[in-house]
Structure 1
Amino acid sequence: MKILFTKCVLCFSLNLLAQTTAMGYVFEDTNENGKKDRREQGIAEVAVTNGIKVVLTNQEGKYELPVGEDNIISVIKPSGYKVGINEGNLPQFFYIHKPNGSPDLKFKGVEPTGILPNSVDFALISSEEKEDFTALIFGDPQPYTQQQVNYFAEGIVAELEGIEKVPFGLSLGDLVGDDLDLFNPYIKAVKNVSIPWYNLLGNHDINFDLENDTLSDETYEAHFGPANYAFNYGKVHFLVLDDVLYPDPRDGKGYWGGFREDQFQFIENDLKHVTKDHLIVVALHIPLSEPDGRDTFRDEDRERLFKLLKYFPNTLSLSAHTHIQRQDFFQKEEGWQQDKPHHHYNVGTTFGDWYSGKLDEKNVPISTMRDGTPKGYAFINFDGNEYSIDYKVAGKPADYQMEVFASKVVAKGRGTKAGIYVNFFMGTEGDEVLYRIDDGEWKEMQYMEDYDPSYIEMVYEWDSTEELMPGRRSSNPIISEHLWRGNIPTKLEAGEHSIEIKAADIFEKTHTAKSSYRLAEPVE
């Protein structure tokens, strides 16, 4: 009887342990069926996380992690391997453990997952990964309706279908616009790019009916998995983070940029296992920078993140959210703790200016952003631990990197306050932007922070027309941080004169553009 009692206690203890400890294997899935078969070997030294703690697998590929009632166990994909994808081309690198499921929500969350399996295994498939590769980046697709999903599909995805030599893509949040039922249509649209697609949580992707930041991502998790995760490709470590604090801890209303304590623990534990000379790419939704001096990101969180990145000499951070494009460079006086400034790239959005403006030949809104940047997406080109960025304007040739604005006709021989303006979409203050007239001498253009006149002209066409145009009026302009100006020479012969622009970006790539203006005899 005593032996039987002892066995019962032991079984109960083992069952209790099984529900507080996740264990399993990371293995090489040689037959790519997603299951660990008897002859398939475990992979050692692979990082696995419960969202806070990060451990490495042992020589047999085994790991153990503590779990509670709400954890997502995920493998941090090592270089040289790939993970499987589901029917929506979403990478399957995680297991959701929510025995009781999500709370009752307006938009459905995770179904109850029940008892934790005896072994939570992760399949990795051996894959040749070159150290030079390109990732495709979307900022804010953000459709509010099915029609806007169609705009996204026709105006962005259609020109990327079947893209080659790009191993994966990433959307930087605001996958939809508050209606989380649009997650599936969004997934269906992006699937047509036909590459594995990672995603990130934005402030328009959260459950507003739960006033608890740790639970605000329940519907997102049901569709995409963990809101905080990491993976490696080549010599690049991608750290994807939810930086939307909801509700705002200051007043319980709205949201604020920043991180919770458990997220900092995950970041710190994750970076312990990353080679110091690898490039760290931190992907966020809300920018680390604060345009116009607005308090949009908790300062101490930015400083704490910078402290964790202190010993990594190669870093880049990405964000979206603002519906403009800009480059920021954090230095020591702004909390960065290295001599080399930290580059933060706020990516132009696929959504543009809320799907506004005239309709193009596909009946899709042109949706130019308020700083004059056309809607589009970015290609980040990696070479080892170095990178360069190309911004691609939707529907335009790859070499369309600038918009030139100049008066169509100017009085010959008279001075004018009109100018030649260049919106260099990837430009930053300090870049060299030159212009010349009629193959003459190259002259330097003056950097300025001002409204883009080409965007002003486009917006106010809506206010001056006497007949309604199809589409919706664009937003009012805001200051552009990639604008240059040059003078218009008027002491030339009457007639047409060519304008040529030459600009070099921070990656030493040279871009060109052309325009013209006409000099006419003054009318008395």
Structure 2
Amino acid sequence: MKVYIRFSTLVTAMLLFWVSLALAQNTATGIVYHDANGNGKLDSSEQRLEDVAVSNGEDVVLTDKQGRYKLSTGDDTIIFVIKPDGYKLPVDDKQRPEFYYIHKPEGSPDLKYSGVSPTGPLPNSVNFGLIEGDKTNNFEMLVFGDPQPYSMEELDYFDRDIVDELADVEGYEFGITLGDIVGNDLDLFEPYSKSVARIGLPWFNVYGNHDMNFDVEHDSLADETFEATFGPPTYAFNKGDVHFIMLDDVVYPRKDGESGYIGGLTDKQLTFIENDLKHVPSDHLIVLALHIPITLPRWREGDKYFRMEDRQKLFDLLSDYPHTLSLSAHTHVQRLQFLDEEQGWKGENPHLHYNVGTTNGDWWSGEPGEDGIPPTIMRDGTPNGYASIQFEGNDFKLNYKVAGVDEEKKMNIWGPKVVPQREWFNADMYVNYFLGSDSTTVEYRVQGKEKWRQMNKVELGDPYITSLRNKWDKSEELIEGKRPNNAVASTHLWKTRVPKDLPEGKHTITIRVTDMFGRQFFDEYSYRVEDR
């Protein structure tokens, strides 16, 4: 018996076949599972994990009862798992978390610094294995701002000044570097990673404006080397009652006719955040980690610095979350700023933005010490160092550790060494509490007296920083090292007149700082009163 098939039916069937094949090639499927034996492979006995979020950088889906997910892909897509609480991510030999799959069939374009090699067609299954971890709401993490080495010499400063004191540290869950991982030389990504690996913690990295491929014409290609080294520049993960969203907020090249880069977010990123937050309880703490601050220091106001319309869209997405914190670096100063309705924040409580001081301080400036490392104090008077954050449920406390000194170092005090007794002499004493804000109280008390007196918060250049810079300007010979940058208005500076109506001799003033978390810190300042 002969079977006749109409030509139109055959064509339709062939079209459906090719369409389904094309869809299959543009759809990533896979399984999220508990990698119980840590071999990086899905074994038949291993548990498949339900309700785990997976994303393509825009859409966010949850795995089904079999741990399966399905996501659309293009020719430049990174598929990644959003780690749930109670699990850890596998890491490579440099402690970089492995939670993503890059799909670039043709690889990155030909650039000065190499990007992603061609990946070819999608695998049949893109699986993500998670390692079982402690489920706790109380934990602590480390935060680095701008290592930004421009050479192996500066990377050595970072390694000895910052990493040495943290090598094999205990008590922290993970660390984050808030961008400007290197200073334009992307070949330093690997030695930087080798250095940070000595800390012994999983380490997440944010993309910064000095981590870019500059030889591109479109923003989507500016992060090719970053992706090849660290993975997606925008992603998320959970720990306890905290949801972390890591954001690439560097737009390059600009689209407003100006040269260079600008802070901002793409529509794709905003869609990702919107879809991601659908799976995050509203009582969780949302922590945003980005490079360029979403708010400007006053001495930079008026700059075309961050696209305010993008910030407003971000704030709108966060409006249902009463517990939020954002972290940035970039400015090489340290600031705590509370954003409210005046800045477009719609939450009941102000949003805290912490612009973290940098590990390289004032770009490794200053006269090197005996160890060959420059003192590199930032323009606002903050010494170089790093931050840590303690989380308790959806609450947190911020800390800042000055590199290379005792943990107790929280402030600098500057004033005259000697004052004339009862004469006209309007000398001031300044206290620079490095983690200060409008919610900080600074008081002083002269030794032997009971009364605490409040100091006045001012936004001025720290005179101690100016005195350090003067050494360079007044010297008749060249000084070794880089001349530091001039002082800028500090947001954590207090002053008062130095008491001089005291008996002759040495006097000691005790400083008491009460910070926004209710903690108190003390330090002392001594000077002499003399009669002419």
TM-score (norm 2): 0.95
Alignment of 1:129 with 2:139, yes or no, is no
Alignment of 1:43 with 2:49, yes or no, is yes
Structure 2: distance between partners of 1:91 and 1:355? 29
SS at match of 1:417: coil
Give, in angstroms, the shift of residue 361 of structure 1.
Answer: 3.5
C-alpha contact (below 8 Å) 1:359/1:365 kept by paired residues? yes
Give, in angstroms, the shift of residue 193 of structure 1.
Answer: 0.8
Instruction: Give the match for residue 336 of structure 1.
Output: 345
Give, in angstroms, the shift of residue 14 of structure 1.
Answer: 5.3
> Per-residue CA shift, 1:151-200, capped at 9, x if unaligned?
11011010100110101000000000111111111111111111100000
Instruction: Give the match for residue 185 of structure 1.
Output: 191
2:213 aligned residue (195, 207, 219):
207
C-alpha contact (below 8 Å) 2:321/2:347 kept by paired residues? no
Instruction: Give the match for residue 96 of structure 2.
Output: 90
> Per-residue CA shift, 1:376-423, capped at 9, x if unaligned?
100100000000000000011111111000101111121321111000
SS at match of 1:481: coil
Give, in angstroms, the shift of residue 442 of structure 1.
Answer: 1.2
Give, in angstroms, the shift of residue 439 of structure 1.
Answer: 3.2
C-alpha contact (below 8 Å) 2:439/2:515 kept by paired residues? no
Instruction: Give the match for residue 388 of structure 2.
Output: 379
Gaps of 5+ in 1: none
Give, in angstroms, the shift of residue 249 of structure 1.
Answer: 1.6
Structure 2: distance between partners of 1:261 and 1:430? 35
Alignment of 1:507 with 2:513, yes or no, is no
Give, in angstroms, the shift of residue 2 of structure 1.
Answer: 9.3
Instruction: Give the match for residue 260 of structure 1.
Output: 266
Aligned length: 521
Give, in angstroms, the shift of residue 466 of structure 1.
Answer: 3.4
C-alpha contact (below 8 Å) 1:415/1:490 kept by paired residues? no
Give, in angstroms, the shift of residue 338 of structure 1.
Answer: 1.5
Structure 1: distance between partners of 2:16 and 2:45? 31
Alignment of 1:368 with 2:365, yes or no, is no
SS at match of 1:209: coil
Output the amino acid matched with 1:326.
Answer: R
Instruction: Give the match for residue 435 of structure 2.
Output: 426
Alignment of 1:237 with 2:247, yes or no, is no
Output the amino acid matched with 2:474.
Answer: S
Instruction: Give the match for residue 495 of structure 1.
Output: 505
Alignment of 1:390-401 (within 5 A): 390-401=399-410
SS at match of 1:156: helix
197-206 or 181-190: which moved more? 181-190
Distance 1:2 1:246, change over 3 A: farther
1:469 aligned residue (475, 479, 483):
479
SS at match of 1:220: helix
Give, in angstroms, the shift of residue 464 of structure 1.
Answer: 2.2
> Per-residue CA shift, 1:331-359, capped at 9, x if unaligned?
11210001210000000000100110122
Give, in angstroms, the shift of residue 301 of structure 1.
Answer: 0.8
Instruction: Give the match for residue 286 of structure 1.
Output: 292
Output the amino acid matched with 1:448.
Answer: V
Alignment of 1:317 with 2:326, yes or no, is yes
Instruction: Give the match for residue 490 of structure 2.
Output: 480
Output the amino acid matched with 1:135.
Answer: M
Instruction: Give the match for residue 168 of structure 1.
Output: 174
> Per-residue CA shift, 1:437-472, capped at 9, x if unaligned?
123221110111111011111111122233433322
Instruction: Give the match for residue 452 of structure 1.
Output: 462
Output the amino acid matched with 2:461.
Answer: Y
Gaps of 5+ in 2: none
TM-score (norm 1): 0.97
Give 4+ residue runs of structure 1 displaced > 6 Å after superposition. 5-11
Distance 1:2 1:16, change over 3 A: farther
Structure 1: distance between partners of 2:128 and 2:258? 39
Structure 2: distance between partners of 1:323 and 1:217? 22
Output the amino acid matched with 2:60.
Answer: V
> Per-residue CA shift, 1:236-271, capped at 9, x if unaligned?
000000001111221151111111111111110111
1:307 aligned residue (294, 316, 322):
316
Structure 1: distance between partners of 2:161 and 2:216? 34
